[in-house]
């Protein structure tokens, strides 16, 4: 009986080899030859799944982005999108959503380092432009969802959904702050341990919560 090959698993195995190389040596190391050596495959086997180096890079980036999205989707799997009212539970959930984008463990550290390398490459490689654009939309959606949780608003049900003008301004501020935190913590990990990164993310989201005094007319 012929052996059944799980092609999806093989493609993901190659994606993981790309991540390891990029995280360890930079995106320039993730050539077809380099990925073949890292994965223990022949170059012909790699090319069987990916016709070009650019296809391989793009696929690896898409899988990584989907991993982050899947973690956030799992977090909100049981959520009622029409839920209203602020609560500590919702605030904590919003914090946890933001944490999926930050280097709080080795897995997420590698994801962030690799993602930053991809975004640098995307400036000059238009084949990665869709990944760059989708990454912005995805991050924006996560930030918008976290702000909705922090402010006790109904959750956005699609990436096209918007909060009101005040809410979107707060999403702007949160996304800018989160990107700065991501860059600093990836560049200076010795100065930004996970505990400090987590605390900083909480402060950023806390700043989007409504002022109780203003709600009381004070």
Tens place of pLDDT per residue across the chain (218 aa): 455 557 788 899 999 999 999 989 988 899 999 999 999 999 999 999 998 889 999 999 999 999 999 999 999 999 998 888 889 999 999 999 999 999 999 999 999 999 999 999 999 999 999 999 999 999 999 999 999 999 999 999 999 999 999 999 999 999 999 999 999 999 999 999 999 999 999 999 999 998 754 443 44
**How far is 115 from 109, CA to CA, in rounded Å?**
10
**How far is 191 from 197, CA to CA, in rounded Å?**
10
Instruction: Return the CATH number at 120.
Output: 1.10.357.10
Residue whose token pair is 């982005």:
65
Please indicate, yes or no, if residue 17 is contained in any of the structural domains. no
Expressed as residue numbers, the domain containing 112 is 59-211
Residue whose token pair is 């702000």:
147
Please indicate, yes or no, if residue 217 is contained in any of the structural domains. no
pLDDT number for residue 5: 57
Please indicate, yes or no, if residue 53 is contained in any of the structural domains. no
Is residue 60 within 8 A of residue 151, CB to CB? The reply is no
pLDDT number for residue 3: 52
Number of domains the chain is built from? 1
pLDDT number for residue 216: 38
The model's pTM is 0.89
Question: Exposed/middle/buried for 91, CB within 10 Å: 0-12, 13-18, 19+?
Answer: buried
- Both tokens of 134, joined, read 């989708």
Instruction: Count Cβ atoms below 10 Å from residue 204 Cβ, excluding itself.
Output: 22
Please indicate, yes or no, if residue 130 is contained in any of the structural domains. yes
Is residue 46 within 8 A of residue 36, CB to CB? The reply is yes
Q: What are phi and psi of 99, to 5 degrees?
A: -65, -20
pLDDT number for residue 213: 43
Please indicate, yes or no, if residue 138 is contained in any of the structural domains. yes
Q: CB neighbours of 10 closer than 8 A, spacing ≥ 6?
A: 49
């Amino acid at each position: 009986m012929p052996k059944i090959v799980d092609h999806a698993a093989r493609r993901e195995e190659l994606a993981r080899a790309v991540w390891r190389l990029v995280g360890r040596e930079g995106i320039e190391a993730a050539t077809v030859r380099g990925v073949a050596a890292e994965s223990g495959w022949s170059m012909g086997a790699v090319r069987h799944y990916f016709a070009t180096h650019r296809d391989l890079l793009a696929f690896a980036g898409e899988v990584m982005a989907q991993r982050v999205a899947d973690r956030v989707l799992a977090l909100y799997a049981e959520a009622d999108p029409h839920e209203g009212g602020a609560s500590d539970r919702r605030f904590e959930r919003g914090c946890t959503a933001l944490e999926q984008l930050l280097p709080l463990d080795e897995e997420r550290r590698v994801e962030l380092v690799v993602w930053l390398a991809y975004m640098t490459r995307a400036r000059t490689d238009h084949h990665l432009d869709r990944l760059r654009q989708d990454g912005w939309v995805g991050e924006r959606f996560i930030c918008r969802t976290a702000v909705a949780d922090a402010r006790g608003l109904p959750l956005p049900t699609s990436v096209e959904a918007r909060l009101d003008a005040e809410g979107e301004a707060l999403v702007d501020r949160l996304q800018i702050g989160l990107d700065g935190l991501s860059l600093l913590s990836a560049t200076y990990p010795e100065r930004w341990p996970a505990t400090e990164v987590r605390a900083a993310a909480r402060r950023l989201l806390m700043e989007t919560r409504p002022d109780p005094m203003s709600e009381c007319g004070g």
